[in-house]
């Protein structure tokens, strides 16, 4: 009897793990469909690349801090487009993504140049998050990313992210929207 119950429990756990993996994969891949479009610029950095970045760092105190930061990151994806139709599709996907995840709004910034919204998923304590998701719209003509004037910028960063050090990371990696993330880390 016990073995049948154990087997049933293992099957249930396996199914639960499989469903969780599918949900997580679906959320990460929601924006991947934009990677192959000519009017979308994409930067994707994987956990393996972050580990390699950590190995390159020297032994200075600043480099050690950077190494610690990047070794705790799992995934970074940045999508930008200056195509109005694609930007509209991205905004629809952003809204779906925000409804399907347990992200909390960290802050929003609206000024004459852009609208910025930053969301986070709780981490191990109030200074850490497991996901930071940001999108920027209404960029006007003053914002320039790699020679383009985007309509939308989407940034997704996952791992064990220290909000107190996010500004340092955005400086080193030249992440679009980095100034807004610096403002978030000071709050």
Cβ contacts of 161 within 8 Å, gap of 6 or more: 72, 73, 123, 128, 129, 130, 131, 132
Reference 111, options 143, 134, 148; nearest CA is: 143
Q: What's the pLDDT tens digit per position in 12-30?
A: 434 433 433 333 434 456 7
- Co-location of 23 and 93 in the same domain: no
Residues 56 and 21 in one domain: no
pLDDT at res. 91: 93
Written as six digits, the tokens of 168 are: 């340092």
Residues 11 and 96 in one domain: no
Number of domains in the chain: 2
Contact 184, 163 (CB under 8 A): yes
Confidence band, pLDDT 50/70/90 cuts, at residue 143: low
**Residues above pLDDT 70, as percent of the chain:** 65
Q: Which pLDDT does position 2 carry in this prediction?
A: 53
Are 171 and 143 members of one domain?
yes
pLDDT the model gives residue 178:
57
- Give the model's pLDDT for residue 72: 83
Per-residue pLDDT at 114: 79
Give dist(CA 115, CA 135) in Å, integer: 8
Residues 124 and 55 in one domain: yes
Contact between 44 and 77 under an 8 Å Cβ cutoff? The reply is yes
- Pick the more confident residue, 175 or 117: 117
The tokens for 97 are: 């993504």
Say yes or no: 63 and 4 in one domain: no
Edge to edge, the sheet with strand 104-110 lists 40-46, 73-81, 152-162, 128-137, 115-122, 104-110
Number of residues that make up the chain: 187
Kindly report which listed range (65-69, 70-74, 139-143) carries the lowest average pLDDT score: 139-143
Give the domain range for residue 146.
Answer: 34-186
**pLDDT on residue 104:** 92
Residues 94-114: pLDDT tens digits? 999 999 888 999 888 887 777
Q: Are residues 45 and 114 part of one domain?
A: yes
Do 70 and 25 have their domain in common?
no
- More confident position, 16 or 51: 51
Q: Please give the DSSP secondary-structure letter assigned to residue 145.
A: B
Residue written as token pair 């320039």: 144
Contact between 31 and 79 under an 8 Å Cβ cutoff? The reply is yes
* Residue-averaged pLDDT of the chain: 74
């Amino acid at each position: 009897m016990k073995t049948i119950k154990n087997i049933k429990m293992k099957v249930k756990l396996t199914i639960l793990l499989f469903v969780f993996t599918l949900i997580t994969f679906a959320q990460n891949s929601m924006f991947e469909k934009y990677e192959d479009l000519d009017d979308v610029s994409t930067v994707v950095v994987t956990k393996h690349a972050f580990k390699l970045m950590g190995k390159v760092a020297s032994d200075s105190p600043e480099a050690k801090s950077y190494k610690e930061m990047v070794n705790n990151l799992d995934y970074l994806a940045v999508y930008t487009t200056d195509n109005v139709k694609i930007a509209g599709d991205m905004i629809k996907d952003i809204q779906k993504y925000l409804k399907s995840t347990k992200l909390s709004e960290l802050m929003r910034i609206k000024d004459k140049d852009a609208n910025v919204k930053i969301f986070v998923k709780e981490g191990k304590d109030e200074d850490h998050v497991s996901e930071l998701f940001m999108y920027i719209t209404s960029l006007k003509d003053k914002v320039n990313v790699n020679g383009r004037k985007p309509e939308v910028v989407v940034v997704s960063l996952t791992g064990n992210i220290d909000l107190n050090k996010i500004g340092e990371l955005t400086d080193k990696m030249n992440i679009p929207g980095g100034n807004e993330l610096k403002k978030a880390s000071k709050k």
